[in-house]
Amino acid sequence: MSRNTDLADAVKRSLERYFKDMDGEKPTAIYDMVLKNIERPLIETVLGKTAGNQSAAAVMLGIDRNTLRKKIQQLRIKA
């Protein structure tokens, strides 16, 4: 099993639990909710793996360094 599949499976399981916990209620704005809940730990983890090196983290994430800095500010991540 590939890492991409493992991650996709984890997200799918989490979403299935989320819908089950909703107990019939109709959720809204799921896309934004998922992105907000994944983006912060993703950036924090990658920054940890690069010992806070934003240039290296941006390369690992596949985004521009300025975009990463903007995300760090938006998400109030201590860098």
Number of domains the chain contains:
1
The answer to whether residue 14 sits within a structural domain is: yes
Q: What is residue 37's DSSP assignment?
A: H
Kindly report the CATH number assigned to the domain that includes residue 15. 1.10.10.60
Distance CA 67, CA 15 (A): 28
The domain in which residue 23 lies consists of 3-74
Q: What is the pLDDT of residues 32-77, one digit of tens each?
A: 999 989 999 999 999 999 999 999 999 999 999 999 999 999 999 9
pLDDT per residue over 27-43, tens digit each?
999 999 999 899 999 99
The reported pTM is: 0.81
Which amino acid appears at position 8 of this protein?
A
Q: Specify if 68 maps to a domain.
A: yes
79 part of a folded domain = no
- Tell me how far the alpha carbon of residue 11 is from its chain's centroid: 10
